[in-house]
Structure 1
Amino acid sequence: MTLVAFLSGAGISTDSGIPDYRGPNGVWVRDPEAEKLSTYGPYMNDPEIRRRAWQVRRDRTLLDASPNAAHRAIAELDQRHGIAVRVITQNVDGLHQAAGLPARKVVELHGSARSVTCTGCGVRTPMTEAVARVEAGESDPACAKCGGILKSSTVLFGEHLDDRVVAEAVAITKGCEVFIAVGTSLQVYPAATLPGLAADNGARLIIVNAEPTPFDDRADSVLREPIGTALPELLRTLGTPV
């Protein structure tokens, strides 16, 4: 059984209509103030920042997005005889699972934007329920259980990644025979350490990304073509053990 590990970033989801945040034309490049909406300190301390964040969440671009050809190709690879797939994703959109990949095979480094978490009692509820409350007139909905501040179930700037999630990602990386980094600049840590770790442990390293990355010189293959066509074509060649 060949274990193929993927590290996916924002670039894999742009064909689904979800904007890139860090790219040359990313949301935070065009509007630096928008980054405050995803920063823990300002979010927790400034009710106006939270109100702005909830208005942004009313845009259903992410919640209504559908998996694209790249997501589907990864899920289909998992159904192929002799191949085991694991995805480590920097994305919070849930599109790998929506494409049919079992949730247990997806490691969400930065959490999920499809639910909200109370910063007081920790209860987790669907994002759609919180957005419905905003649309009904609540500008900054509080936890229905304890009255605490609600945030999306994502890792905001200023928060630490879950150590157990990172450990799982590292274990997958060390154990894979093929490591494919797709749609990620490989500049955000600790995710950016994973390609090198995979190569150090003997994995075949493949990078699929429109822009150069710091690991291109260590990769066995680098593909610059559009992800929606390049990745499905690449995965068709992985039908037998590498």
Structure 2
Amino acid sequence: MLFTTLGNKSNPAVLFFHAMGVTGASSEPVAKALQAHYFCILPTSTVYCAGQVYQGKQDEVRQVEVFLKTQGVTRLALVVASSIGADLAMDFLTTTHLPVEHVFFDGGQFAQIGKGTRRIMVPFLYMAIKSLYWSKGGTLKKIMWCDDDAIKPYFIAAGKALTYGNMRRQMADSLEDKPFPALPEDLQCRCWFEFGSAEDHLKYRAAVRKAYPHGHHPIFEGCNHMQYQIRDPQGFASMLTSIIEQNVLPPLPFVKSA
């Protein structure tokens, strides 16, 4: 993995897990809006790091834990997980010994996909992400989960370093067709599982609500996958601050339910 940090280490820590096909830098617009008051940690998955070999989610979590220790982080005010980052974040949440105060899942891809289907998906995902690098982002509007130009540079950067082997190994142990991991009721009450009404991942919401009935499950009406985060990072950061400070969403006109 590669790690970027923004903000002062003495401030409360916020840890980001990024989406598929982008680097950890994709969270920088939000982190920059938080850095005056929070210490933001932005890992880039080994899958998108040149010269590194993806070993599995447990090893990714280990690398995160080691880095947090080197930075003197003893608790996390917030974990933010976007799209497939939710899959890795769940492994982190269920194994870490660090206190985690709040969690926000932005369009978490809580898919439960059989091994055979995941194996078939690998060449398509690999070609989709690599094509963004080869075309300098020209294929973005045709093939990816978000066609907003603001996130294009992070797709291009991820595609440059991606190897087929790393993509294959990641999909072998991600989005598995297993029951969702258990979370304590108290932590569920501080977890926010958000989906946009216009995104395909909305279909996972019912299963998430059943697995984590004590959590918050807002729908961002009219929003596509991660759209609020990408198009209004300042507003998204203000929302995260409200969750950290009060465990409530601020008044947002597009919030359908929580």
Shared fold (TM-score, shorter chain, > 0.5): no
More helix by share: 2
Q: TM-score, normalised by structure 1?
A: 0.33
Structure number with higher relative contact order (C-alpha < 8 Å, ≥ 6 residues apart): 1
More strand by share: 1
